[in-house]
Amino acid sequence: MRIPKVLAFIGLFVIYGGLTSKAQGILFEFGERKNFSTMINDVSEAETLKWIDVNTTDTTWYRDGDMLVCKGLPIGVVRSEKMYQNFIMHVEWRHMEKGGNSGIFVWCDAQPEKHNRLPSGVEVQMLELDWVNQHKRNGETPPVAYVHGELFGAGKVTTVPDNPRGVRSKSMENRCLGVGEWNKYTVVCVDGTIKLAVNGKFVNGIRESSKRKGYLCLESEGAQIAFRNLQVIELDNGYILPEHIVEEL
């Protein structure tokens, strides 16, 4: 039986369209991935982290020496090539303008919502200190803790905050530095629990995350930000249920 030309065209579109969506190209390389179990035996070799664009552009990000710079527009994310379950992440970041907004998503589905272009995951927030002064609500300034490393479930992901500010968890101590100054985050992610150290001290955490394995996503959210010294150390896997794992892309 001969297949009508229009049906053949549709079939080819489905086949090759599907292949294209699965075989996404690497936008850039930045950061290192290591394995803890081999590190302790002094045989760990670092692998470069590869990042795939989700809904930004190839001009949103650029390298400047050892830094990765995000211009902030369009709003969106890039995602890691692979998914992660239990790991330690270290990253240094600085905002380049007052009131800047950004963050890194962990255990993320890398599938943006239409209303805000951002995905579901646990957000490790990175806000410049002047953000609260620029975003008063009904004449009131948001609490300063909002900009000092909040953790929260974004989109469809839910968490239980250690230090509640509504459904979000605020840092117990304000340690972030302002525009142009480097901040250091150490993020420990194990079996649905996250602990965050800001500039050398653990001050925040969440637990019982509804997702516990997913992608890392770097966020572009309207302001220029620079990242450096990103390291991901993979830990042993833990007990996990299928509903805790995001859909593989």
Within-domain flag for 128: yes
Check whether 86 has a pLDDT greater than 80.
Answer: yes
Within-domain flag for 15: no
Q: Report pLDDT digits (tens) over 119-167.
A: 999 999 999 999 999 999 898 999 888 899 999 999 999 999 999 999 9
Q: Report pLDDT digits (tens) over 69-81.
A: 999 999 999 999 9
Within-domain flag for 159: yes
φ, ψ dihedrals at 83, nearest 5°? -95, 160
- What does the angle CA 110 – CA 114 – CA 119 come to, to the nearest 5 degrees? 20
Q: CA 201 → CA 65, 127, 188, 190, distances in Å?
A: 28, 18, 12, 18
Can you tell me the mean pLDDT for 8-29?
51
**Structural domain harbouring 101:** 25-244
Check whether 241 has a pLDDT greater than 70.
Answer: yes
Within-domain flag for 221: yes
Q: Token digits for 154? A: 């974004």
- Looking at residue 5, its pLDDT comes to 46
The helix/strand count (H/E) of the chain reads as 3, 17
- Looking at residue 14, its pLDDT comes to 35
Please state, in angstroms and rounded to a whole number, the distance separating the CA atoms of residues 157 and 108. Answer: 9
SS3 (DSSP) at 72 = coil
Q: Report pLDDT digits (tens) over 138-151.
A: 989 998 888 999 99
Q: Token digits for 238? A: 């833990």
Place of tokens 């966020």: 219
CATH of the domain at 49: 2.60.120.560
Within-domain flag for 4: no
- Looking at residue 40, its pLDDT comes to 82
Within-domain flag for 143: yes
Within-domain flag for 68: yes
**Total domains present in the chain:** 1
